[in-house]
Structure 1
Amino acid sequence: MSVWLPSAPCTPKACVEPTGSATAVPRAVLRMTAVVVLVLTGIALSPFGGRIPAGLVRRWCRAIARAIGVQVRVTGTAAAPTGGLLLVANHISWLDIPLLGAVRPARMLAKAEIGRWPLAGPVVARSGVLFIERDRLRALPDTVARIAEALRAGSAVVAFPEGSTWCGRAQGHFRRAVFQAALDAGVPVQPVSVRYRLADGAAGTAAAFVGDDTLLASLWRVASTRGLVAEVEIRDVIPPGSHLDRRSLARAAESGTAGRPRRTHTALVA
């Protein structure tokens, strides 16, 4: 198995708790329609690429979450540092992508299959995403080199080092390869912890996009769930030079995304 292709034990049947109801159908349809309109807007603006102001990108990412009915709470450090930065997070849902975009607009590290998604695929492909051929081990050194090049050029790069989505009740281990790019480029690493809860504070798995789940089924489940809250905890930056090898750097970043979020700063953004 490729190092880019780890597997998680989570499946929709075993891990995802249905929370929608028949009465939620009209609301879910409206939410889905709003998301489609926002994605089409993103497609229309995607040719402008880097000329789009970072603040507008953040607002668009937050609008995606708001449109699908998710309230977003950001805790921790108020802002990500400027310049080259590797932003890493645990991976639960497709929603993680706009959530990280709301923290800091960045080049996404993503599996090549995402570029073929309907509607969202064209937006992703034109946004400067760094695609991974996960089943091609020989492509790994070239991928690490391209990430390092982007980081040296001053870009922020978002990666989900688990390599697979988990339901949120458990978390996978961070793969080390992406951290080599941060070491080679001499840039800081910022862990971000993502959690999803219901309005009453209980852990929720409705947002999880795991196993053989389809994007449409996941979109509908999120849209029909009432009171879904995404908690985004921006953890302390790991400065360059603080870890001499990718193994220890990956372990430190993984530790930074695990556990209960701290409440040092809170901002309701959606």
Structure 2
Amino acid sequence: MKPSIAPLRKYLKAILVGLAFVAGLAAVTLLFPGARLLGHRVSEAVRGRITVLWYRSVARLLNLRIRCFGELMPTPGLVVSNHVSWLDIVALGSQAPLDFIAKREVADWPVVGYLGRRTGTLFVRRGDSHSTRSTAEEMVWRLKRGRRLALFPEGTSSSGEGVLHFHPRLFQPALMANLPVQAVAIAYRGAARPVAPFVGDDAFLPHLWRLLALERIDVDLIPCPPLTPGRFDRNALAQQTRAQILSALELQAPPLTLSA
């Protein structure tokens, strides 16, 4: 009996995604150190461009169809999103160079943790006040040096059916750096909606295997107008950005841009 087409395609996608991760390892190990010889500003631009291209290549291999209803702010600042899946990072990272803030557990994931560390991800240990303070200080330093940071203020992923409480303390670095905060709503559509959520006891590789079975993964990104820190304290920023995302998730408008 001949094997069906779908399983063969799934295995092929798995091999190609694996090769993409190998290419990512090669890039951050071999190219990133060499980029430092070009000077700080040029080095960061080169590294940012390589990282965005890598995210886009992974998105294409997974057939991640990203509809973006606008643009991420081009200036330094803090980008905050609702959190549904590790795919959120691929979708956002394919749009612009971003330094992500992730939970400490991700640093221990095979390959992914190493790639995260080398591409500028900051890992924070939840419930550890010292880790939280040091991460906040690093965030302020990077923001003042012209970086765009991205984090998920819910503190964990959800099923995508709603938006959890936003933790105000995560907005403090933007206030200290006096830089804008932009909310971006993320929504998975169609067949991907029940499969994309990465919650509970999910492990990365089994979840990736389930995603590979999908013909395509549709995801909408809806950037909202940036908020100026001078007009809000951290509690207000948390409330306002969450309200923006809740409102944006109800929109059904034609996309302004199309990528990946």
- TM-score, normalized by the shorter chain, greater than 0.5: yes
Q: Is contact 2:51–2:119 with CA below 8 Å preserved after alignment? A: no
Match of 2:258 among 237, 251, 268: 268
CA distance in structure 1 between the aligned counterparts of 2:81 and 2:202, rounded to whole angstroms: 21
Residue among 146, 149, 168 paired with 2:141: 149
- Kindly provide the amino acid, as one letter, of the partner of residue 203 in structure 2: T
Partner in structure 2 of residue 111 of structure 1: 103
Seq. identity, %: 32
Which residue of structure 2 lines up, in the alignment, with residue 67 of structure 1? 61
How many angstroms apart in 1 are the aligned matches of 2:64 and 2:26? Answer: 24
What is aligned with 1:100?
Answer: 92
d(CA) in 2 for partners of 1:54 and 1:122?
Answer: 16
CA RMSD of aligned residues (A): 1.9
SS at match of 1:52: helix
Mark the runs of 5 or more structure 1 residues left unpaired by the alignment: 1-21
Query: Is 2:229–2:237's contact at 8 Å kept on the other side of the alignment?
Result: no
Residues 110, 159 of structure 1: 8 Å contact kept: yes
How far did residue 134 of structure 1 move?
1.2
| Matched pairs, number | 243
1:212 corresponds in structure 2 to: 201
> Match of 1:162?
154
Task: Give the whole-Å Cα distance in 1 for the aligned partners of 2:258 and 2:130.
Answer: 43
Q: Decide whether the 8 Å contact of 1:34 with 1:68 is kept in 2.
A: no
Larger RCO: 1 or 2 (CA < 8 Å, sep 6+) = 1
Change (3 A) 1:91 1:103: same
Please point out which of 83, 103, 113 is paired with 1:121: 113
Distance 1:138 1:91 in 2: 24
Q: Which residue of 2 aligns with 1:229?
A: 218
CA deviation digits over 1:55-93, x for unaligned, max 9?
4432321221221122111112x34222x2101100000
Rounded Cα–Cα distance in structure 2 between residues aligned with 1:106 and 1:176: 21
Q: How far apart, in 2, do the equivalents of 1:161 and 1:242 lie? A: 19
Q: What is residue 236 of structure 2 aligned with on the other side?
A: 248
2:62–2:216: 8 Å Cα contact kept in structure 1? no
Runs of 5+ unmatched residues, structure 2: 33-43
Q: Which residue identity does 2:225 align to in structure 1? A: D
Mark the CA change 1:264 to 1:79 in structure 2 (over 3 Å): closer, same or farther. Answer: farther
